[in-house]
Chain A
């Protein structure tokens, strides 16, 4: 039984600026299971950062309910408002690690003192704090730089120190607020892999805020897409990837295929006849071992014309995408589709008559 470690219910955050009300987050419900790597994506200003700051109450919501590992931190109903005590909140925050886009280390303290700072109220003795900080730095591969000052380190190294600090109090949750957005591609990949490693080794739940879909594709298992203060789509990464309902989601997640669809539409490259339809075939990992398209023609008399193909890696598993126009009798097409489904190919209708299921067209 998976435990819901973060439960945000009907969260709204409203900022008041000179008589103008800005609704940064509107009635969002988001539940994160223990052990998830939950990606939250969206353009700048969508409200992602505001939303995750609600988890450790760095941002106080204006309405809703916040529950983290079984403790209600905030609850507001029509009658009453309940906020956890300052002392308890500090203790809870130590169990919710957080890293930031600009690392936010104490510049005037050495790397090891930065980690030790988080352990100040851990009840450990100074010697034990030192030893634990050293262990954490070793864990992120920076044990030898403990006496350096943050500005003497590269961005990737600084973020590693920030991760060591975030992990100091053995948190169950790690929030990354655009944690890789200021890093170059190589460092980004390393930091993401480190997060995934921590997730696998210690069962750390990770909430990953980012505007880079690649980061989510690399390590997340769940994803939520935010726009204008709302979550417009959320669910399993693969499910969202293969069957995005919203245009914005497709823009984010679809990557190449979303562009391909747009190109096809704009230039009317695929003019379909009445006995044709265009479908998207998605296959995962090594599930495809048979020469599928040849078989369609041979066994069902259905022609398949490939107009676009792409392969991407989701959480380390290759996922292939094919856009094909299939042509044949309705019965033949149906047989072909049933056959493909039996081969664990995910089929999404893009255009043409007689949509099957999961239609993406209005």
Chain B
């Protein structure tokens, strides 16, 4: 079995499990980048998404200036292609993590790249909460934080899980590009060790691993969304 595998996937075996260019470090780097930039980008996206909904004209505390600020920042960052963003914000990355190269350095552009996408998704998810429900909550004297946490976030929970899943998947896609600044990961494996060295078997296996990761995220996301949805039960 392993002999057969070695015959058809010589380059995959050549990369080895551990060490520089090994499979385990590559998987680890992809997971590391996805996890931490999901945390940072997620928090930032959530703040901007909630801000957009609350300060909107029909939100619970309309504020034209603040809305316009959130809106412009999100639109601006969404407009920059990620591969350019990687290079463009290198000085900022240097300032924050002390280096512009490597897996940790990639977290800054990844977070900044994913947050505007997430912010828009969160905005749409929260907008799906019926205005009547907000009004009913206000009519029993709900406070601002009641409205945000008990009404908006809880009512849109299933929708938020769905958009988070979509965002995570697109984030996994972004980590593949982070190889350009030496961040490693499965994307880098597929390009640097596979494509560039004409090792098609390596590219194939790296792609399959990314695919499995995406499917896993999708599966868990769908499951959670189902558990937390009582609206259309």
With A106-B137, A149-B230 already in contact, 12 other A-B pairs whose C-beta atoms are closer than 8 Å? A58-B139, A94-B141, A96-B139, A100-B136, A106-B150, A108-B157, A118-B140, A120-B150, A151-B231, A151-B233, A162-B136, A165-B140
Top 6 A-B pairs, shortest CB-CB distance: A104-B136, A118-B140, A90-B141, A94-B141, A104-B132, A98-B139
**Interface digits, B93-132 against A, CB 8 Å rule (1 contact, 0 not)?**
0000000000000000000000000000000000000101
Q: Does B228 sit at the interface, judged by CB under 8 A?
A: yes
**Interface digits, A159-201 against B, CB 8 Å rule (1 contact, 0 not)?**
0001001101100000000000000000000000000000000
Query: A108 touches which one: B135, B137, B155 (CB < 8 A)?
Result: B155
Q: Does A356 sit at the interface, judged by CB under 8 A?
A: no
B233: chain A residues within 8 A (beta carbon): 149, 151-152
Q: Does A40 sit at the interface, judged by CB under 8 A?
A: no
> Which A residues from 80 to 128 make CB contacts under 8 A with B?
90-94, 96-98, 100, 102, 104-109, 117-118, 120-121
Q: Least Cβ distance of B12 to chain A in Å?
A: 46
Q: Bin chain B's interface residue count.
A: 20 to 34
Q: Least Cβ distance of A173 to chain B in Å?
A: 11
A-B contact pairs, 23 of them (CB 8 A): A56-B139, A90-B141, A90-B143, A91-B141, A92-B141, A93-B138, A93-B139, A100-B132, A100-B135, A104-B132, A106-B133, A106-B151, A106-B155, A107-B133, A107-B155, A108-B228, A108-B230, A108-B231, A121-B143, A149-B233, A151-B233, A166-B140, A168-B140
CA A5 to CA B230, docked complex, whole Å = 39
Q: Does B226 sit at the interface, judged by CB under 8 A?
A: no
B18: chain A residues within 8 A (beta carbon): none
> Which B residues from 210 to 232 make CB contacts under 8 A with A?
228-232
> Which B residues from 131 to 176 make CB contacts under 8 A with A?
132-133, 135-143, 146, 150-151, 154-155, 157-158
Q: Determine whether the beta carbon of A98 is less than 8 Å from that of B136.
A: yes
Query: A105 touches which one: B136, B139, B143, B146 (CB < 8 A)?
Result: B136
CA A108 to CA B154, docked complex, whole Å = 7
Q: Least Cβ distance of A221 to chain B in Å?
A: 24
**Interface digits, A292-316 against B, CB 8 Å rule (1 contact, 0 not)?**
0000000000000000000000000
CA A98 to CA B137, docked complex, whole Å = 10
B139: chain A residues within 8 A (beta carbon): 56, 58, 93, 96-98, 166
Q: Determine whether the beta carbon of B141 is less than 8 Å from that of A93.
A: yes
B142: chain A residues within 8 A (beta carbon): 90, 117, 120
CA A97 to CA B138, docked complex, whole Å = 11
A58: chain B residues within 8 A (beta carbon): 135, 138-139
B229: chain A residues within 8 A (beta carbon): 108
CA A166 to CA B141, docked complex, whole Å = 11
B138: chain A residues within 8 A (beta carbon): 58, 93
CA A248 to CA B119, docked complex, whole Å = 50
**Interface digits, B2-30 against A, CB 8 Å rule (1 contact, 0 not)?**
00000000000000000000000000000
List residues of chain A with CB under 8 Å of any chain B CB.
56, 58, 90-94, 96-98, 100, 102, 104-109, 117-118, 120-121, 149-152, 162, 165-166, 168-169
Q: Determine whether the beta carbon of A117 is less than 8 Å from that of B137.
A: yes
Q: Least Cβ distance of B169 to chain A in Å?
A: 24
Determine chain B's interface SS by DSSP, over half rule. helix
Known A-B contacts A108-B155, A108-B228, A152-B233; the reply to A94 vs B140 at CB < 8 A is yes
CA A106 to CA B231, docked complex, whole Å = 9
Q: In this complex, what residue of B is CB-closest to A91?
A: B141
A93: chain B residues within 8 A (beta carbon): 138-141
B135: chain A residues within 8 A (beta carbon): 58, 100, 104
Q: Determine whether the beta carbon of A107 is less than 8 Å from that of B141.
A: no
Q: Determine whether the beta carbon of A151 is less than 8 Å from that of B232.
A: yes
B151: chain A residues within 8 A (beta carbon): 106
CA A90 to CA B141, docked complex, whole Å = 4
Q: Least Cβ distance of B225 to chain A in Å?
A: 12
CA A93 to CA B141, docked complex, whole Å = 5
Q: Least Cβ distance of A335 to chain B in Å?
A: 57
Q: In this complex, what residue of A is CB-closest to B228?
A: A108
B230: chain A residues within 8 A (beta carbon): 107-108, 149-151
B137: chain A residues within 8 A (beta carbon): 106, 117
CA A230 to CA B229, docked complex, whole Å = 43
B130, B138, B140: most-surrounded residue (chain A CB, <10 A): B140
CA A169 to CA B132, docked complex, whole Å = 20
CA A96 to CA B135, docked complex, whole Å = 13
A149: chain B residues within 8 A (beta carbon): 230, 233
CA A100 to CA B137, docked complex, whole Å = 12
Known A-B contacts A151-B230, A151-B232, A152-B233; the reply to A104 vs B133 at CB < 8 A is yes
Q: In this complex, what residue of B is CB-closest to A53?
A: B135
Query: B141 touches which one: A106, A109, A121 (CB < 8 A)?
Result: A121
A118: chain B residues within 8 A (beta carbon): 140-141
A90: chain B residues within 8 A (beta carbon): 141-143
Q: Least Cβ distance of B203 to chain A in Å?
A: 44
Q: Least Cβ distance of A74 to chain B in Å?
A: 16
B132, B155, B157: most-surrounded residue (chain A CB, <10 A): B132
CA A8 to CA B146, docked complex, whole Å = 29
